[in-house]
Amino acid sequence: MNDLSAIDAAAKRLVQALDALDAALERRREQDRASDALASQLHALANDRSKLAAELDDIAARAKQLETANRDVAGRLDTVMETIRTVVDAQER
């Protein structure tokens, strides 16, 4: 019976080792899924960053156009105000 109990003990150890291996494999699969999800999130964030950078460039260009237009309008208003002053002064004389 000694051989039989040694075989039973070896079989139990084998089952325990297989269970431990199965658990380790499942943990590895979970880590791989988490890694894939993280990579997907990172890719989405990179795409968002690219879109935001493009939008920022567009907004900066538009702001520059508005600034130029503002300076042009301000110059024209100065010219109009000066012309009005000249006309008013001429009529007061």
**Unique residue bearing structure tokens 């297989």:** 18
Q: Taking CA 11 as the corner, what is the angle to CA 8 and CA 17, rounded to the nearest 5 degrees?
A: 145
Q: How many helices and strands, by DSSP H and E, does the chain display? A: 1, 0
| DSSP secondary structure letter of residue 93 | -
**Unique residue bearing structure tokens 């039973």:** 8
- Mean pLDDT for each consecutive 10-residue tract of the chain (93 residues)? 86 97 97 96 98 98 98 97 94 84
pTM: 0.57
**Torsion, CA 14, CA 17, CA 22, CA 26, rounded to 10:** 180
The pLDDT value recorded for residue 55 is 98
